Chains A and B, each alone.
Chain A
Amino acid sequence: MRRFPEYFTIWHIAGHYALRITAYLVLAFLILPILVIVPLSFNAEPFFTFTEGMLSLDPDAYSLRWYEEILTDQKWTLAIRNSFIIGVAAAILATVLGTVAAVGLASPRMPFKRLITALLLSPMIVPLIIIAAGMFFFYTSFGLVGTFPGLIIAHAALGVPFVIITVTATLSGFDRSLFSAGLSLGASPVRVFWDVVIPLIRPGVISGGLFAFVTSFDEVVLVLFLAGPEQRTIPRQMFSGLREQINPTILAVATLLVVLSMALLVTLEVLRRRSERLRGAE
């Protein structure tokens, strides 16, 4: 039994436990809806609910048929391939441009810093439907609609704010005199950037790149407007599946994506700890 301060009355203690119970209920609300789809994806029947067989743990009520369908259905295999192609390319583009820009933005001498930061972060704030509509009008005139380059550019623009945020955060612990030291020893700014800055901020760069990749991997509004049938991605395929014929294959895909996000979470945590170590943990 926990010890409470002497001035606590019974009502204080009741309040304490009420708060605790509320917090756990909210955590359950956060996590249960995601976990519920995992067992449902092994349903032998094409239903979105638990069958009696599943509840009585009858092995025949479970099956891997929806997972098999992902691997054999050409629409899904194409979508998986596209998602990785577009995600990786967009992440690389956003990370390269974003990292270089973040180094400039971190300089105390950067002119118009506040304005430029707000501009570079704005793709995160402007509603996707507005971005999609604008890009559709504008990219059409460059023949970019329905092409891979068009989607990669569009997704990279969405990923840029995340790279800026993570790299700027890593740079906040960066000693700028190292940059001056490199320059005073005769190295070019590019050389200093590559040999001194990048190794020190690498964890931030990698997590920025991961954020950009996830942003692209999960994005569907721009894909709805800008992609042709050849560029359909996993979220696009899920979107049409949820709209048209609901089929538990989507639950299997969703389960795989949950596993992927768990892996991502672990990776980011490892990177964060590494970054803190490199900066000299407080």
Chain B
Amino acid sequence: MGDITASPLTRTEDALGAEDARNAARELRAQRLRAFLFVLPLLIFIAFAFVAPIASMLFRSAYNPTVAELVPASLEAIEDWDGEGRPPDAVLTQFAQDLKRLANDRTSGQLAEEINRFLPGTSSVVKSTARQLRRADDAALAADGPALLLEANDAWGEPGIWRALRKAGQVYSASYYLTALDLETTRDGSIQPRDTRIYLQLYGKTLWMAFIITVLTLVLGYPLAFHMAHSSTAHANFLMVFVLLPFWTSLLVRTTSWIALLQTNGVVNSTLMALGVTNNPLELLYTQFSTIIAMTHILLPFMVLPLYSVMRGIDPSYMRAAMSMGSRPIPAFLRIYLPMSLPGLSAGALLVFIISVGYYITPALVGGTDGQMISNIIAFHMQQSNNWELAAALGSLLLVLIVALYWLYDRFVGAGNIKLG
């Protein structure tokens, strides 16, 4: 506010000057509040519709109360067990009673599925034991629980299944993150890499595919944007239609086109066979190749548009000047033009990379098993294996990756500067 009181408009009397300053400050506050009130409804809407769902997913990745809600008494009983040998008989008795109750409530399957995640192969043990205990007599269970349990399946004599139960019973745990990073906790509590690297490998593959797609869009998009930027306005606007029409065409339409083109009996194979290039149709669809080519096609406009808008602003006389002074085209391009086009290049490359890392639909439709990306495995855990916590943990890691990339984008390009066509 100092500059207001010091402005030449200020009266000489100090009292009036201070009052002016107060008025100005009040007016400023009112303007800030008014601006904020305009944004408030949307902020509330986005908080409910978008931010809260994402937050709940983050929460879910570390919070799983299912087992704790199913067998609270057993978990309490097993708490003091040292993890070696068979747990005390009281634990087995309590668990046998709990399992019978679950069997009658038809919720023993849930328990089986949860424990199975911590010790694969346990699901059938829990299910078959539950079936047998359902008919057991309450009094007999209370008196002779351990014997009945061991009779139903001798796996209950091993410590492994009980450790799995105790782990599954933790309400908050980082175990899904460990799984998502291909790590596991050993019996003494230290963390070590798992033998099979499924998820890290998939993250690596996703980043690699996104990188290839970014490079391909750059290689294809740069000359096109360059040519358009150096055409007359009318011609450039005409060529722009060829970029904007695919941009505005439904994603599923474009994916459909690639299926029609790349199918075993599709257009590409028919053409190749008619030309005599090959006698047997090539396996083009449902491969990593088809994911990459279809995504390059889909994301190319995201590269061309920012490149074009930057190149349009570069004065061509710089290049002409360099060349008239004897520079060869390639050095002139590398030292003059390329640095000037870097803002568009980084904007396009970051945008394409960010979008492709999280892509789902195209890999799901044309990728086969080979061309799947991290989003597809998240969907798999959501829909098929019903391992929502693992899906949430994998999703959270992907989110961290995207936020980091978005931060880079905002730093170098400015998120507010995104242009559409």
Query: Which of A15-23, A56-64, A65-73 sits within the interface?
Result: A15-23
Q: Is B118 an interface residue (CB 8 A)?
A: no
Find out whether the CB atom of A105 lies under 8 angstroms from the CB atom of B50.
no
Q: Is A153 an interface residue (CB 8 A)?
A: yes
Report B252-294 CB contacts with A as 1/0, cut-off 8 Å: 1111111111010111011000000000000000000000000
Q: Is B35 an interface residue (CB 8 A)?
A: yes
Instruction: Tell me the B378-414 residues at the A interface (CB within 8 Å).
Output: 378-379, 382, 388, 391-392, 395, 398-399, 402, 406, 409-410
A41 — nearest CB in chain B belongs to which residue? B260
Q: Is B419 an interface residue (CB 8 A)?
A: yes
Find out whether the CB atom of B320 lies under 8 angstroms from the CB atom of A5.
yes
Main secondary structure of the interface of A (DSSP, over half): helix
Q: Is A110 an interface residue (CB 8 A)?
A: yes
Q: Is B36 an interface residue (CB 8 A)?
A: yes
Find out whether the CB atom of A221 lies under 8 angstroms from the CB atom of B360.
yes
What residues on A are CB-neighbors of B28 within 8 Å?
A: 109
Find out whether the CB atom of B227 lies under 8 angstroms from the CB atom of A20.
yes
Query: Which of B9-17, B97-105, B218-226 sits within the interface?
Result: B218-226
What residues on B are CB-neighbors of A111 within 8 Å?
A: 32, 35-36
Instruction: Tell me the A1-52 residues at the B interface (CB within 8 Å).
Output: 5, 7, 11-12, 15, 19-20, 22-23, 26-27, 29-31, 33-34, 36-37, 40, 47-50
Q: Is A181 an interface residue (CB 8 A)?
A: no
A156 — nearest CB in chain B belongs to which residue? B49
B47 — nearest CB in chain A belongs to which residue? A119
Q: Is A251 an interface residue (CB 8 A)?
A: yes
What residues on B are CB-neighbors of A20 within 8 Å?
A: 227
Find out whether the CB atom of A26 lies under 8 angstroms from the CB atom of B41.
no
Find out whether the CB atom of B270 lies under 8 angstroms from the CB atom of A129.
no
Q: Is B54 an interface residue (CB 8 A)?
A: yes
What residues on A are CB-neighbors of B259 within 8 Å?
A: 48, 242, 246
CB-contact partner of A261 in B42, B249, B256, B360, under 8 A: B249
CB-contact partner of A133 in B32, B57, B359, under 8 A: B57
Query: Which of B121-129, B144-152, B237-245 sits within the interface?
Result: B237-245
Which of the listed residues A100, A127, A220, A257 has the most CB atoms from chain B within 10 Å of its own CB? A127
Find out whether the CB atom of A101 lies under 8 angstroms from the CB atom of B39.
yes
The distance in angstroms between the C-alpha atoms of A40 and B261, with both chains bound, is: 11
Find out whether the CB atom of B41 lies under 8 angstroms from the CB atom of A101.
yes
What residues on A are CB-neighbors of B70 within 8 Å?
A: none
- Given the known interface contacts A49-B270, A110-B32, A135-B53, the answer about A121 and B418 at a Cβ–Cβ threshold of 8 Å is yes
- Given the known interface contacts A119-B46, A127-B398, A242-B365, the answer about A250 and B256 at a Cβ–Cβ threshold of 8 Å is yes
Q: Is A270 an interface residue (CB 8 A)?
A: no
Find out whether the CB atom of A133 lies under 8 angstroms from the CB atom of B52.
no
Find out whether the CB atom of B223 lies under 8 angstroms from the CB atom of A109.
no
What residues on B are CB-neighbors of A118 within 8 Å?
A: 406, 410, 415
Q: Is B120 an interface residue (CB 8 A)?
A: no
What residues on A are CB-neighbors of B186 within 8 Å?
A: none
Looking at chain A, what size class is its interface with the partner chain?
A: 35 or more
Find out whether the CB atom of A258 lies under 8 angstroms from the CB atom of B42.
no
CB-contact partner of A160 in B46, B54, B250, B251, under 8 A: B46
Q: Is A196 an interface residue (CB 8 A)?
A: no
Find out whether the CB atom of A238 lies under 8 angstroms from the CB atom of B54.
no
Instruction: Tell me the B298-343 residues at the A interface (CB within 8 Å).
Output: 300-301, 320, 323-324, 326, 329
CB-contact partner of A33 in B31, B257, B406, under 8 A: B257
Q: Is A130 an interface residue (CB 8 A)?
A: yes
CB-contact partner of B253 in A121, A136, A254, A272, under 8 A: A254
Find out whether the CB atom of B361 lies under 8 angstroms from the CB atom of A22.
no
A selection of 28 A-B contacts at a CB cut-off of 8 Å is A23-B227, A26-B220, A27-B242, A27-B243, A33-B257, A34-B253, A36-B260, A50-B270, A93-B45, A100-B39, A101-B43, A104-B37, A110-B32, A116-B39, A119-B43, A121-B415, A125-B415, A130-B358, A134-B54, A138-B57, A153-B48, A157-B50, A214-B248, A218-B251, A235-B250, A251-B260, A257-B253, A261-B245
Kindly list the 4 A-B residue pairs having the minimum CB-CB distance in the complex, ordered from nearest: A127-B358, A104-B38, A134-B53, A23-B227
B binding-site residues for A, Cβ under 8 Å:
28, 31-32, 34-39, 41-43, 45-46, 48-57, 60, 220-221, 223-224, 226-228, 239, 241-246, 248-261, 263, 265-267, 269-270, 297, 300-301, 320, 323-324, 326, 329, 354, 357-361, 365, 375, 378-379, 382, 388, 391-392, 395, 398-399, 402, 406, 409-410, 415-416, 418-421
A binding-site residues for B, Cβ under 8 Å:
5, 7, 11-12, 15, 19-20, 22-23, 26-27, 29-31, 33-34, 36-37, 40, 47-50, 93, 97-98, 100-101, 103-105, 107, 109-111, 114, 116-139, 153-154, 156-157, 160, 162, 165-166, 168-169, 189, 211, 214, 217-218, 220-221, 224-225, 235, 238-239, 242-243, 246, 250-251, 254, 257-258, 261-262, 264-265, 268, 272
